[in-house]
Each structure stands twice: as structure tokens, then as C-alpha cells.
């Protein structure tokens, strides 16, 4: 990792260096100042991350948004509400163990075969066995009851299973096999016509799709690294490409910066137990004598000026985060605190007996100095900048954070005993559940801080076993702050969440992106690809 990071850092520097010079007015030698090429109404070129395993939903393709080639039972609309896609109606039984789903008749796969309940059942049963990036293990069995009705029986109540209905693309039973990921057949808005591995994939509108025709018939997904993609955008070879925040100030003629809100968050996980309170089988150290003090964790949360982090580190492309689900319907707004308040932070410390008696600028209590190590992964410049800025902010209230970069291998060993700057963010509430659930204490990246609050656990369990997603939301929110306790900064302050990082794209001025969906850690802008279109009169009708 370190080498890769050095390379990309240097590459970014190289870019900055090259671009910081004002180009000569006549266009100069740089190839970037040509007229933008004319575009065809029928084609758009988008830079994406490549699914190296192929386009197989059972191994995780589409789990970050929209499988595009396959269709799903449900979808989330731009307001995060659940709406039917393949499913016409859906309901969960009274015992919360069986989903009854009726799918639309008349849907066909791109090879012409009809989509039936058998295919849906096959997809879920097979996914439950597949060792991929989609977790359907709670499924007991999927049973087709009628040609267009299917029952999904669960081993235990789990409301977050609804996210599988949203993300798991339905595959045809007849055409599924080992090589499916390279020759996917689905009932989604697009079909895969070509995949040159390591370089690009080409999608075309699926003529048999039951929904509205996509606004742009042909999509070229280019698989480029960030710095290369930026160069390609300047050479006007691509229409949409993501860039790191620091490049957002650059100008590319004919392209505008578009910042897509996301739940892609960054936050500091605190070990909440004192050192040595628990022994791990692997022998890794657990607990931290400083961060096990609630006052320290709360003071840090109050001292951090999140707005300054957004403006200073993210160039304004982001928002303050007070929890792992800021911006989502299941976020509890009461969990947000008036931050950037060192006075309040000092008060919290003083009330708990933290004082700077020896005059070294660091508070102590009972001989223990408020000195902690904040770890972040080596290959991430944004987290480094965030960590340094946070350390600077908390130093003013007498807490010293020694900011240290480590490899992920080291972080996974040290995260039980030291604060680590993590990045998560998902539309699936399972993530929030796992980060704070007491029974997940120390289960790797599930709750590495060993946080446990019985009341919070109860809310999380109630949410998990709720009848509907709306019902669950009330409990998800109570787990954050119920007026007395909760995991948020107002309560136990188990984490110090910092920011949500917007995903920043350069987008061709002539392209209308519709209403992009809120993004997640690792997701892409293509979730609403079928809504994209070229603006009136900006494209030529000739096919590419």
C-alpha cells in the first residue's frame, strides 16, 4: 500500500504542478484546450470502478446501488422511499419471518425468457450460499408459490433484509452458471454488449426492458484510475468522472464540477473500555485508559469544528456528520451537538477533574495525561488532513493527539486500543447496527471500540425485528438519542463522527443527470443512469 500511495500522491502533485501554471491564452501546447468534441445523443462515456469479479449480483455486483443489467424487486427513489421495481406488491408477515412478494407479469430477461417467481427464488436461494459480497445468510428458503408469487422465509426477523430486495439483481435460473459474471443476462434497463477487462465495458439499452427506455442508449464505462481519468477528462474523452476533492478547483472547459451528497462518512472510533479490561483470543491489546473516560470523548466531540473540516479539508464539498447515518431518514437530528465549542469542551473536562496542573498544555487527571494516538490508514490523504486538523482543534482544550499513519494490517490489530479514523457509510442500516451493537463487541470492524449500552442494544434489536422500515426508523433514531441516553455525541459519544464526504465529479455541461441518488462509501454516480439525457439541442443524432 505505501508504495501505491506514494505514487498516487506524486501523481496528484504532478497534476497540480502542471495545472497550477496558467495556460497561455492561445491554447499553448496542452491538449486540454481544444474545443469540446461534439457528442452523440446516443452515447455517454463515464469513468467507473471496475467490478473485477464480473457482473454477477450473487457475488455482489450492484450491491452499492443499481445493478443496471439486472433488475431488483424494489428500488429506493430519490427521496429514499421504497418503491416497487420487479415487485408489484410486497409485505412482511406478522411474525416478521416471511416476505410475500408478487412480481409483475410480462417482464423478460434480455434473452427473451420471462422473469418468473422461480427465477426470483433461485436468485435468493443461490445468493444465500454464494460466498460473495452480498449477505443473504438470514434467508431460510425462497419458495415460488405461484408463477408470479414468491415467499422469502427468514431464519429470524431482520428488517434490514429489505435492503437485499433493493440491491440483489434477479438472475435467470436457466442461464446462471460459473461464467455468468462475464455473460450476464438480466431484466434491467441495460444489457452488457462488451467488456474489455481492465479497460472498459459497453452497455446498451435492453430492448426487452419493461420500464421506460433509458435516456441515453449506449453507455461506455471506462475503468481508469483517478489521476488518469482527470487527464482523460481534460482531453475531452469522457463526460463524467469522479475526482478527489483537491482537484475540484481545477477548471476543465466544457465541464462543470458537480458535488453529489453522500453518506460516505469519516469518523473516529474510540475504545471505550480501560486498557486490559478484556482479553482477545488473538492477543491484540484492548482498551484505552484515556478514551475510556466519557468526558474525554464528549469533550473531543464538542471541540471539533466540523464546519471548518468541511471547508478546510474537503474544499466545501461535504457536510458535518454527527453520526454514521447523517442525512438519511433514520438519523436522529437531536444527536447533533453544537460543536466547534472549545469552551463547552473545557467545561466538560474540568467537571470531570481534568486539569493542567504541570502547565505543559495537556490536561491530566489522577496522574494520567490526556495524550492519545490517533491512527489513520497510510494511503489516504484526506484522512491524514482530517486527522491533523482534529489534532489541532483538540490541542486547544488540552488533549494531545499524536497523529500516526499505519497500514490496514496494523490498524486491524491496533484498533481495539487506539482511536482510528475510519470511513464507512451505507444505506443499509445493518452497518449502524453492527458498529454499536453490544454483542458485536470487538468483532473486527463491527464495534472495535467494545461499546455496549444495554438500552441502545434493546433499541437496535427492536429496530431489527420491526414490521416495516418506517417502524424500524423510530428505534434506529432512539438508539442514537432517546432523550436520556444513546450512542451519539449527546449520549455515550462512542465515536466522534466528523464529516460526510461528497462525491465530486466533473460532468459535461451538456449532460442532464436527472436526480442523482445519495451516494455511499464505495458507490458510484450511475445508480440513476437510466434518467440521464443530453440537454435539448446539444447533441447530434448520428449514432456513434
Q: Does 35 bind other proteins (CB under 8 A)?
A: no
The H or E element spanning position 388 is helix 381-395
**Residue 465 touching other proteins (CB under 8 A):** no
- Residue closer to other proteins by CB (options 282, 536) is 282
Q: 5: closest CA among 406, 543, 454?
A: 406
Among 29, 35, 366, 483, binds other proteins (CB under 8 A): 29
Q: Is 153 in the site for other proteins (CB under 8 A)?
A: no
Site string for other proteins, 163-182 (x = CB under 8 A): ----------------x-xx
**Sign of the CA dihedral 502, 345, 269, 427?**
negative
Residues in a beta bridge with 141: 153
Q: Name the minimum Å distance from CB 321 to other proteins.
A: 15
Which residue do the cell numbers 458510484 mark? 524
Distinct helix (H) and strand (E) counts, the chain: 12, 25
Q: Under rule CB under 8 A, how many of the chain's residues touch other proteins?
A: 65
Which contiguous run of DSSP H or E holds residue 4?
helix 2-20
Smallest distance from other proteins to CB 342, Å? 32
Nearest approach, Cβ of residue 422 and other proteins (Å)? 8
9 binds other proteins (CB under 8 A): no
Q: Does 284 bind other proteins (CB under 8 A)?
A: no
* 52 burial via Cβ count (<10 Å: 0-12, 13-18, 19+): exposed
- Of 38, 47, 470, 12, the C-alpha closest to 232 is 47
Whose Cβ is closer to other proteins: residue 81's or residue 182's?
182
Q: CB of 489 within 8 A of CB of 337?
A: yes
435 scored as a contact of other proteins (CB under 8 A): yes
Contact 265, 500 (CB under 8 A): yes
Cell of 33: 484546450
457 touches other proteins by CB under 8 A? no
54 touches other proteins (CB under 8 A)? yes
The answer to whether 281 contacts other proteins (rule: CB under 8 A) is no
Which CB, 26 or 94, lies closer to other proteins?
A: 26
Of 430-438, 449-457, 476-484, 503-511, the window that binds other proteins (rule: CB under 8 A) is 430-438
Is residue 469 near other proteins by the rule CB under 8 A? no
Residue from 77, 79, 197, 358 binding other proteins (CB under 8 A): 197
With H, G, I as helix, E, B as strand and everything else as coil, classify residue 349: helix
* Centroid of chain to Cα 140: 28
Among 142, 203, 238, 463, binds other proteins (CB under 8 A): 238
519 makes contact with other proteins (CB under 8 A): no
User: How is 94-111 classified by DSSP, letter by letter?
Assistant: TTS-EEEEEEPTT-B-TT
193 binds other proteins (CB under 8 A): no
Q: Which of 104, 133, 307, 371 binds other proteins (CB under 8 A)?
A: 133
Shortest distance (Å) from residue 338 CB to other proteins: 29
- What percent of the residues of the chain are helix, what percent strand, and what percent coil, each to the nearest 5? 30, 25, 50
Q: Among 305, 315, 332, 431, which residue sits at the site for other proteins (rule: CB under 8 A)?
A: 431
Assess 515 for contact with other proteins (CB under 8 A).
no
Binding test (CB under 8 A) with other proteins, winner from 521, 525, 533, 539: 521
Using rule CB under 8 A, residue 280 touches other proteins: no
The total number of residues shown for the chain amounts to: 544
Query: In angstroms, how far apart are the furthest CA atoms of the chain?
Result: 79
129 is an interface residue for other proteins by CB under 8 A: yes
Q: How far is the CB of 134 from other proteins (least distance, A)?
A: 8
The Cα 486–Cα 464 span in angstroms is 17
Task: Render 109-124 in DSSP notation, one character per residue.
Answer: -TTSPBP-HHHHHHHH
- Identity of the residue, 247 or 290, whose beta carbon is nearer to other proteins in the bound complex: 247
Contacts of residue 177, Cβ cutoff 8 Å, sequence gap at least 6 = none
Q: Which is nearer to other proteins, 435 or 529 (CB)?
A: 435
Contact 208, 111 (CB under 8 A): no
User: Which residues inside 385-414 make contact with other proteins, applying CB under 8 A?
Assistant: 408-409, 412
For 373, counting Cβ atoms within 10 Å of its Cβ (0-12 exposed, 13-18 middle, 19+ buried), the class is: middle
Bridge partners (DSSP) listed for residue 376: 405
The residue (of 348 and 382) whose beta carbon lies closer to other proteins is 382
In this chain, which of 10, 280, 368, 402 binds other proteins, going by CB under 8 A?
Answer: 10
**305 CB neighbour count, 10 Å cutoff:** 20
Decide: is 132 part of the binding site for other proteins (CB under 8 A): yes
Beta carbon nearer to other proteins, 227 or 305: 227
Helix axes 454-464, 469-480, angle to 10 degrees: 170
Query: Which residues make beta-bridge pairs with 205?
Result: 190
Grid cell of 313 as nine digits: 479539508
User: Rule CB under 8 A: which of 298-317 touch other proteins?
Assistant: none
What stretch of H or E contains 255? strand 255-260
**DSSP secondary structure code for residue 355 in this structure:** B
For other proteins, the closer CB: 3 or 515? 3
Please tell me whether residue 500 binds other proteins under the rule CB under 8 A: no
CB of 467 to other proteins, least distance (A): 22
Q: Cα(61)–Cα(52) distance, rounded to whole angstroms?
A: 10
Q: What residues from 242 to 271 belong to the interface with other proteins (CB under 8 A)?
A: none
Residues forming the site for other proteins (CB under 8 A): 1, 3-4, 7, 10-11, 14-15, 17-18, 29-31, 45, 52-54, 56, 59-60, 63, 129-133, 135, 137-138, 179, 181-182, 196-200, 220, 222, 224-225, 227-228, 231-232, 235, 237-238, 408-409, 412, 423-424, 426, 428, 430-431, 434-435, 443-446, 521-522
Amino acid at each position: 500500500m505505501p508504495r501505491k500511495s506514494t505514487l498516487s500522491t506524486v501523481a496528484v502533485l504532478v497534476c497540480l504542478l502542471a495545472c497550477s501554471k496558467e495556460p497561455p491564452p492561445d491554447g499553448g501546447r496542452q491538449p486540454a484546450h481544444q474545443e469540446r468534441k461534439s457528442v452523440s445523443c446516443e452515447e455517454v462515456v463515464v469513468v467507473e470502478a471496475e467490478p473485477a469479479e464480473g457482473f454477477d449480483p450473487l457475488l455482489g455486483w450492484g450491491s452499492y446501488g443499481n445493478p443496471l443489467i439486472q433488475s431488483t424487486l424494489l428500488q429506493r427513489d430519490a427521496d429514499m422511499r421504497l418503491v416497487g421495481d420487479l415487485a408489484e406488491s410486497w409485505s412482511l408477515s406478522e411474525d416478521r419471518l416471511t416476505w410475500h412478494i408478487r412480481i409483475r407479469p410480462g417482464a423478460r430477461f434480455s434473452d427473451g425468457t420471462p422473469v418468473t417467481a422461480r427465477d426470483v427464488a433461485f436468485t435468493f436461494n443461490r445468493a444465500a450460499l454464494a460466498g460473495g459480497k452480498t449477505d443473504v445468510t438470514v434467508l431460510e428458503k425462497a419458495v415460488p408459490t405461484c408463477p408470479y408469487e414468491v415467499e422469502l422465509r427468514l431464519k429470524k426477523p431482520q428488517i434490514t433484509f429489505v435492503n437485499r430486495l433493493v440491491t440483489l439483481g434477479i438472475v435467470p435460473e436457466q442461464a446462471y452458471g460459473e461464467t455468468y459474471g462475464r455473460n450476464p443476462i438480466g431484466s434491467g434497463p441495460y444489457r452488457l454488449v462488451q467488456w474489455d477487462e481492465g479497460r472498459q465495458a459497453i452497455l446498451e439499452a435492453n430492448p426487452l426492458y419493461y420500464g421506460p427506455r433509458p435516456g441515453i442508449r449506449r453507455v461506455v464505462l471506462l475503468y481508469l484510475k483517478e489521476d488518469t481519468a482527470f487527464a482523460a477528462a481534460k482531453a475531452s474523452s469522457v463526460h463524467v468522472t469522479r475526482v478527489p476533492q483537491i482537484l475540484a478547483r481545477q477548471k476543465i472547459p466544457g465541464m462543470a464540477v458537480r458535488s453529489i451528497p453522500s453518506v460516505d462518512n469519516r469518523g473516529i472510533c474510540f475504545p471505550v473500555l480501560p486498557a486490559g479490561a478484556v482479553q482477545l483470543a488473538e492477543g491484540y491489546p484492548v482498551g484505552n485508559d484515556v478514551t475510556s473516560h466519557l468526558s474525554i470523548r464528549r469533550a473531543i466531540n464538542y471541540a471539533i469544528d466540523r464546519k471548518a473540516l468541511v471547508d478546510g479539508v474537503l474544499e466545501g464539498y461535504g457536510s458535518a456528520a454527527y453520526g454514521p447515518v447523517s442525512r438519511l431518514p433514520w438519523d436522529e437530528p437531536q444527536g447533533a451537538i453544537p460543536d466547534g465549542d472549545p469552551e463547552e469542551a473545557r467545561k466538560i473536562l474540568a467537571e470531570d477533574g481534568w486539569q493542567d496542573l504541570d502547565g505543559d498544555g495537556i490536561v491530566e487527571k489522577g496522574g494520567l495525561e490526556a495524550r492519545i494516538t490517533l491512527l489513520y490508514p497510510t494511503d489516504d490523504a484526506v484522512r491524514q488532513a482530517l486527522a491533523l486538523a482534529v489534532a489541532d482543534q483538540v490541542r486547544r482544550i488540552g488533549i494531545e493527539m499524536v497523529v500516526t499513519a499505519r497500514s490496514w494490517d496494523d490498524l486491524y490489530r491496533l484498533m481495539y486500543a487506539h482511536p482510528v479514523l475510519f470511513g464507512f457509510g451505507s444505506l443499509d442500516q445493518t452497518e449502524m447496527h453492527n458498529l454499536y451493537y453490544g454483542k458485536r463487541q470487538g468483532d473486527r470492524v463491527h464495534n472495535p471500540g467494545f461499546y455496549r449500552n444495554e438500552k441502545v442494544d434493546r433499541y437496535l434489536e427492536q429496530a431489527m425485528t420491526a414490521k416495516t422500515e418506517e417502524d424500524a426508523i423510530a428505534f434506529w433514531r432512539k438508539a442514537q438519542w432517546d432523550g436520556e441516553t444513546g450512542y451519539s455525541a449527546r449520549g455515550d459519544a462512542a465515536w466522534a463522527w466528523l464529516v460526510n464526504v461528497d462525491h465530486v465529479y466533473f460532468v459535461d455541461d451538456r449532460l442532464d443527470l436527472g436526480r442523482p441518488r445519495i451516494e455511499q462509501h464505495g458507490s458510484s454516480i450511475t445508480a440513476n443512469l437510466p434518467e440521464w439525457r443530453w440537454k435539448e439541442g446539444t447533441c447530434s443524432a448520428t449514432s456513434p
